[in-house]
Structure formats: structure tokens, C-alpha cells
Amino acid sequence: MDYIEYETDDRVAVITLNRPDQRNAQNAGLLKELDEAFDRAVADKEVRVIVLQANGKHFSAGHDLSPEAQNGPPWDHMFDDVKQNGLLAMYQWELGHFFGYSRKWRDLPKPTIAAVQGACIAAGLMLCWPCDLIIAADDARFADPVIHMGIGGVEYQGHAWEFGARKAKELLFTGGFIDATEAHRLGMVNRIVPRDQLGEATLALAHEIAKMHPHALMMAKRSVNHALDAQGQHNALQTGFETHSLGHANAWIVSGYPVMVGLDEMTKANKGNANGGAKS
Ligand code: ZN
């Protein structure tokens, strides 16, 4: 694996994002390896709890925005395709790789714990939100700033469920950060620990949970997730993905590019069929 580390510690699988120099930005390879690691932990009968953590100062800066990341259909080559097929290719990619992965990981049949330090931005939220528990280092901070790209939120729009409606709107409207303390107060984070104790504290909690019967753990998780779905979470998340996709469509209409970052630059890049440093 190039982007992920995987190890087991007794009954706990520990999956570690390992692109610290890129602030654990998510390219296609990282997402694929991460999904395979989750599958491996689920398939291992000895594993009862899964920890997701990250090497380096930051949990994840979101999707890797560099052209070589291949985070979907290469935008530079999409212009002709969009004219013929609209946003079909982009929609399908994001449905499978962004929204789809997060949905799948949310319903893994074993408890998952995310350990978050530093910045957790945009698609970074799509890694920790699907986990059952979130332990935050005291330096953790969270934001979904895609409003700056002319889009209403990331592909997996858990905001209202994680923050409550009013805070969700504030954070979406401003693209601003909340720190670990506020995330804890709002119920998004289970516990805050000093940065240098994050790994140890998360593993201790994982081992405590791993003493429980695996069937009981799975049923407890299913029960709570079903309660959320009974309140409409499943359908709301699906609708959130559709509105995210509508944001891409609107950006194409307005700027000729999937997002509205540096509108003038994007328009120029489109005309010149150069990349222009596009963001997603
Ligand atoms: Zn998108």
C-alpha cells in the first residue's frame, strides 16, 4: 500500500492515513486503499473494532486537488465529454468514490473510531463523520469551505446531523472552522484529549469496546444507525449529494468549470484547455 498503513493490535485494526507531507489529502489511490483496508478489517474475524487515524500534523486536508491526483475524470479532458454527456461521468465518479464510500463506511458491521488531529477539511469530514466515534486532539479543527467554490457543501452532507441545523447553516454559509471544544459541545466529537495522547487514548477506548461481544456491538450500531435513518438521515444524505452535484452543474454553467474557484482564471483555463489548478 502506498497511502495507507494497516496493522492489528489484538482485536483492534488500526488504519492510518499515510500522506503526511500532503496533509493526508485524498487521491484516488488513497481512497481505494482505505476502502480495501476497511474490507480487510471487516473480513478478519479476530478484529472487533476499527480505528482510523492519520500520520502527521493534520488528519486530512480533503480531496487532493492536484492534477495528477486523478480524483475523478480528468477535468482537462472533460470539456468535450460534458458537451456530449453532461455531468454523467463526474456524477458517477463522485457517487461511487466520494458519497458511496462514505455511505458504505458508515454502515460497516463493526464499530469504527476516528482519531482526528490538526485540520480536518471538507472531504476530511467524509472520513471521520461515517465513523461511529470521533476522538479529537485538542488542536483539531473542522471546516467545510466548499462554499468558496460556489457549491453548497461536500458530497456527504452530514452537517445538519453533526452540528444541528443552525450551526450547520452558519458553517456552510461562512466556510468557517470550529475547534475541538466547540465540536465536542455540539456533539460531533465524543472526547477531546491532548495531542500527544491521541493515539494512546483512542487505542485504549478501542480495546475497551473490543471486550464486548461482536454480535452485540453490531446490533448496537445497527440500532442507532436505523434510528437516524428512521429520522430521515438516509434520504437527507442522498438529497445532499444531489444538491452537491447541482452545484457542479451550476459552476459549469457559470464558469465553464466544475467549481468556481478564481472564476476569471478558470474561464481562461477553460478557453486555453489548460488545467488552471482546479479545485474540487
Ligand atoms: Zn464534488
Report how far ligand 1's centroid is from the alpha carbon of 154 (Å).
7
Q: Do 57 and 23 form a contact (C-beta atoms < 8 A)?
A: yes
Over residues 233-260, the mean pLDDT reads 93
Report how far ligand 1's centroid is from the alpha carbon of 280 (Å).
6
Report how far ligand 1's centroid is from the alpha carbon of 153 (Å).
9
CA 199, CA 271: separation in Å to the nearest integer? Answer: 48
CA 125, CA 54: separation in Å to the nearest integer? Answer: 13
CA 44, CA 133: separation in Å to the nearest integer? Answer: 21
The H-assigned helical ranges of 86-124 are 88-93, 100-106
- To the nearest whole number, what is the mean pLDDT of the chain? 91
- Residue 81 is predicted with a pLDDT of 79
- Provide, for the chain, the percentages of residues in helix, strand and coil under a 3-state DSSP scheme, each rounded to the nearest 5: 55, 15, 30
Q: Do 177 and 139 form a contact (C-beta atoms < 8 A)?
A: no
CA 168, CA 158: separation in Å to the nearest integer? Answer: 9
The residues whose Cβ lies within 5 A of ligand 1, an ion, are 94
pLDDT in tens, 189-223: 999 999 999 999 999 999 999 999 999 999 999 99
Torsion of CA 228, 193, 24, 210, to 10 degrees: -60
Report how far ligand 1's centroid is from the alpha carbon of 245 (Å).
6
CA 226, CA 234: separation in Å to the nearest integer? Answer: 9
266: left (phi over 0), alpha (psi -120 to 50) or beta: alpha
Q: Which of 4, 5, 55, 52 is nearest to 30 (CA)?
A: 4
Q: Which of 79, 85, 84, 83 is nearest to 272 (CA)?
A: 79
Percentage of the residues of the chain whose pLDDT score is greater than 90 = 80
pLDDT in tens, 130-140: 999 999 999 99
Q: How sure is the predictor about 264, in pLDDT bands with cuts at 50, 70 and 90?
A: low
Report how far ligand 1's centroid is from the alpha carbon of 115 (Å).
25
Report how far ligand 1's centroid is from the alpha carbon of 240 (Å).
11
pLDDT in tens, 46-103: 999 999 999 999 999 999 887 777 666 666 667 777 778 888 988 998 999 999 999 9
Beta pairing, strands 133-137 & 191-193? parallel
Report how far ligand 1's centroid is from the alpha carbon of 9 (Å).
35
CA 101 to chain centre: 9
Q: Do 54 and 15 form a contact (C-beta atoms < 8 A)?
A: no
Cell of 78: 472533460
SS3 25: coil
Over residues 234-239, the mean pLDDT reads 98
SS3 109: coil
pLDDT in tens, 64-78: 887 777 666 666 667
Report how far ligand 1's centroid is from the alpha carbon of 16 (Å).
24
Report how far ligand 1's centroid is from the alpha carbon of 63 (Å).
9
The yes-or-no verdict on residue 280 having pLDDT over 70 is no
Report how far ligand 1's centroid is from the alpha carbon of 157 (Å).
11
Q: What is each CA distance from 262 to 38, 98, 279, in whole angstroms?
A: 37, 24, 10
Domains along the chain with CATH numbers: 4-274 (3.90.226.10)
Report how far ligand 1's centroid is from the alpha carbon of 12 (Å).
33
Report how far ligand 1's centroid is from the alpha carbon of 5 (Å).
26
